[in-house]
Chain A
Amino acid sequence: MPRITVTVDGITYEEEVEPRLLLVHLLRERLGKTGTPVGCDTSNCGACTVMLDGKSVKSCSVLAVQADGGDVVTIEGLGAAGEMHPMQRAFHEEHALQCGYCTPGMVMAAIDLLREDPEPSEETIRQGLEGNLCRCTGYCNIVRAVRKGAQEMGQAVSTP
């Protein structure tokens, strides 16, 4: 079995994995990182979105061996010790989650879309989140939260 080294939320793991093992199953079932859920099997829903080397990926569509040598950040490792990331906080403040199942992926995708456009319009946010489905909120408050999260992240960067 291939042996991989992967860093997840700041901790480096060495694991022997079947070549077919999905990254999301490595996270959930081998490493106990159950904060990242699985919502579908066709990479449509985006619930399993994590950051791999700084870019969002759907972890149900990445093999664990593809993450060899990589740096994964999940929803569990997003905030600094004991504090929520501004995007997580914005989701709370704008009531952008109900059941919470899509939330980890939605937050990750939201942060990712700000890489290209730190001050996105409503249209950009909606297009940017197209690959992440939510069944509870109708997206209104998610869009508001992303806008608010973007503002706060912008301020966090500009404030020394």
Chain B
Amino acid sequence: MTVQEVGRPRKRKEDARLLTGRTQWTDNLSRPGMLYVTFLRSPMAHARITGVDVSGARALPGVVAAFSGQDLAAEQGSLPCAWPVTEDIVIPDHPPMAVSEVRYVGEAVACVIAVDRYRAADALEAIEVDYEPLPAVVDMTEALSPDSPKVHETGNKAYEMTADFGDIEAAFRDAPVVVDRTFVQQRLIPTAMEPRAILADTDGESFTLWSSTQIPHVLRVMLAVVTGIPEHKLRVIAPDVGGGFGSKLQVTAEEVLCLLLARKLGRPVKWTESRSEGNLTVHHGRDQIQHVRLAAEADGRIRGLQVSLLADMGAYLMLLTPGIPLLGASMCNAIYKMDAYQFNCTGVFTTKMPTDAYRGAGRPEATFLIERMMDELAAAVNVDPVEVRRRNWIKHEEFPYATISGLTYDSGNYEAATDRALSLFGYDKLRAEQADRRDRGDPVQLGIGVSTYTEMCGLAPSRWLADANFGAGGWEHGSVRMLPTGKVEVITGTSPHGQGHVTSWSQIVADALGVPFEDVTVLHGDTAIAHKGMDTYGSRSLVVGGVAVLKACEKVKEKARKLAAYVLECSPDDLEFEAGAFKVRGTDSSKTIQELAYATFTAHDLPEGVEPSLDSDATFDPDNYSFPHGTHLCAVEVDTETGMVKLRSYVAVDDIGKVVNPLIVEGQVHGGIAQGIAQALFEEATYDAEGNLLTTTMADYLLPSAADLPMFTLDRTETPATSNPLGAKGVGEAGTIASTPAVVNAIVDALRPYGIEDLRMPCTPERVWRALEGVRR
């Protein structure tokens, strides 16, 4: 009897190498004759470039070349935006290196190529750039006023999009309760631990680009289009990649430029960013102002929801920039039933680093606004926040459920997840303690926050992406090939950077083919090996890519069945497949699939029409998203004298359907929760009025450390997804989506008796203290 691999907490195959330093980070790689690239970056948020002189740099020892934007203008093209969300969207030209105007601090204006890292950095100081300052545009609201200076000649509006569902006016007309709030999603810096690095090489005809990227396949296509290097002459490799969180889902200026420099110089070039450079120039996340109105009955039942967003695009539209806020358009209504919903979003240009995908991408913003509003609604109608959600959510017997915003949620059980979370959390006991502290006037108040989230993930049904005017499909590819000795090589189009696909895919294949877990290897992240793929983002890898691998296994098995029938001299219909062997039903006669692999290798005796191989390809394109959901509960202690917020306990009960590896899932949830908490309490990318980023280092941009976070209590409920044969739902972003509102709701809950109804994130001690001072006066 073989053990079922899917569902086992298998320890990761990836670990040993990573734990002993035998890594392949891009910056570890070296090529004979390799040169180092550094970029000179604009110190001004907005300026005309009136002159660049690189001759001083060129004259220095060890410097091989130096170029300005003008030098590269003819060949550098424009960085792509793959998501023109409306017909009349403005997509400005985006030169990888600025030529005539800079529009954010950190934009590259010149580069040096030298024999080593230190000399390349020194030589930047010998470059002279003349700037004619132009006014910075930092604030989104001011950017939209008619007298605002313009970021681009076309103005500061990139697009506006409205979607109406139901009769929103009727929903608000005579509504007994209307809640009106404005929330701010602060700007965030994703901060993967591995800074970006790029190595480009050429033999004069073909090119290879190693990059710390989440998207080797998408990158290859896009780089071919931008640089004119034919796609078949360009190989992109994502070696070990140290985290991404969306920040490496990009076609970057530096990738284009390194490729061009390798072409120009005919030599390998490497660029590795410093962290400060990364904070300035890795795309940022979030940054929205959210005006939200909610109409309800006196008992708290929702009638309508009206959402109006300003979304900061930054200076340019990068790969997915304009679409990110719209990924939340179908999610503001969340798990709740309502008669009407209106969503409006305006994309605004400012002279700041462009924004783009950051863990959750649009869904954390949507979930935050609705989960904050549910707490405000609960307060308005004087009902417990959990109860007000209960009155509005879709009941488990109502699935599949067509939501007001046009999605069909295939499965879920919000009651079960919430009941489990309440019990693990000790909700009633904590409420009693809260009441007691309030009565005693304890300077340390207890707050309880709830977040009953859902999200749409597993990007994506290609048909849905077509409707959204997205520039690509959402399928994924997998190949499975059996080697002569019966071992299995799996090739996946996903591109893991910490998610443990090698382990999880091995579990899926071990079950599907009945081979030992140890006999499976998984290859990925190199377009010459994994020739087809859509890469890793949007919690898509398992529910799309893992399923493609499963389907490839099924095809391999069908091939093997024909051969088995020939070898065992029976009809294919008489065979049953169990524990890796085809067995003639009712006999002892059998052949393992691993033996059959050897038979195809020798090919000494194959039946007519059977190829000498046991391998197959499959592509999977789901017909729906997956909709993980869950209930997160957070207890905070707020010191009303200092403003300090302490996380006391955190419970998360998530429903992500069937689980392949519970250990990996738990890790994803832990990390996700931590990142959501980070938005609630710690992180903010701040620009001053002149458009200078003030948080350029890890000393200024506060990532939580081990000392800032508690242990999380996790559990799961399980309603399988129906949109894929694994029954799995994505898990990579769920924690981040859920936790931010849970924490802020908890803080507001602690301070509501003081008359505080909202707090801006991050809820630092200073902000909390100032809010309390404000109401004490």
| Residues of chain A at the chain B interface (Cβ within 8 Å) | 18, 20-21, 25, 28-29, 33-42, 44-45, 47, 74-76, 78-79, 84, 88, 91-93, 95, 97-104, 107, 122, 125-127, 129-143
Contacts and interface: CB of A to CB of B under 8 A. Distances in A.
A98 B667 contact: yes
Interface stretch (B236-244, B442-450, B633-641): B236-244
6 contacts: A34-B23, A45-B275, A75-B19, A135-B703, A136-B667, A139-B674
Contacts of A41: 274-276, 697
Interface of B: 11-12, 14-16, 18-23, 25, 27-28, 116-118, 191-195, 240-243, 245, 274-276, 497-500, 663-664, 666-667, 670-675, 697-699, 703, 705-707, 709, 711-712, 735
Nearest to B12: A95
B706 A126 contact: yes
A37 B675 CA distance: 22
A101 B25 contact: yes
B650 to A, nearest CB: 10
A136 B703 CA distance: 12
A37 B28 CA distance: 8
A75 B20 contact: yes
Contact of A130 (B16, B497, B672, B706): B706
B356 to A, nearest CB: 17
Contacts of B711: 122, 140, 143
Contacts of B15: 91-92, 97, 100
B698 A133 contact: yes
B240 A100 contact: yes
Contacts, number: 179
B669 to A, nearest CB: 8
B249 to A, nearest CB: 15
A139 B18 CA distance: 17
Contacts of B673: 138
Contacts of B242: 37, 99-101
Contacts of A91: 15, 19
Contacts of A99: 192-194, 241-243, 497-498
B709 A139 contact: yes
A93 B28 CA distance: 27
A88 to B, nearest CB: 5
B28 A34 contact: yes
B27 A37 contact: yes
Contacts of B195: 38-40
Contacts of A130: 705-707
Given A35-B21, A76-B20, A135-B245, A125 B697 contact: no
A91 B498 CA distance: 14
Given A18-B118, A139-B706, A37 B194 contact: yes
Given A37-B194, A40-B275, A97 B703 contact: no
In the complex, which of the residues B275, B276, B705 has the most CB atoms of chain A within 10 Å of its own CB atom?
A: B705
A33 B671 CA distance: 29
A88 B22 CA distance: 13
Contacts of A131: 705
Nearest to B22: A35
A88 B670 contact: no
A45 B672 CA distance: 19
Nearest to A22: B118
B19 A37 contact: no
Given A37-B23, A39-B193, A138-B712, A100 B14 contact: yes
A97 B117 CA distance: 30
Nearest to A134: B193
A130 B703 CA distance: 11
A126 B195 CA distance: 25
Contacts of A79: 20
Contacts of A40: 195, 275, 697-698
